[in-house]
Amino acid sequence: FGIYSLKMNQKEFVFIFAVNQQEAIQFYRDTFFANPLNCHEYPLDFQIDRGDAAISFREMRKEFLNLPAIAGFYERESY
């Protein structure tokens, strides 16, 4: 499995745990009834802030029983 960032629009992204990129894209289509603008794999050891602490995608994966699954959303700041 891996973690994939799928671009929803110019500012919003969703992270999806999936076996491969094709499964992540299909899960996105089935969930949001649209195609992602792009899809990129991230390293499982990449850390993100969650609440007051940082967590790696590898650690976060242990919280999910089934794949594919949405790990979370990210919104890019406007400048």
Summarize pLDDT for 28-37 with one digit per residue, the tens.
999 999 999 9
Q: Residues 7, 51: contact at Cβ < 8 Å?
A: no
Q: What percent of the chain stands above pLDDT 70?
A: 99
pLDDT higher than threshold 80 for residue 57: yes
pLDDT higher than threshold 80 for residue 79: no
pLDDT higher than threshold 80 for residue 12: yes
Mean pLDDT, range 48-58, rounded to an integer: 93
Q: What pairing do the DSSP bridges indicate for beta strands 39-42 and 69-75?
A: unpaired
| Distance from C-alpha of 27 to C-alpha of 18, rounded to nearest angstrom | 8
The residues near 66 (Cβ < 8 Å, ≥ 6 apart) are: none
**Average pLDDT in the chain:** 95
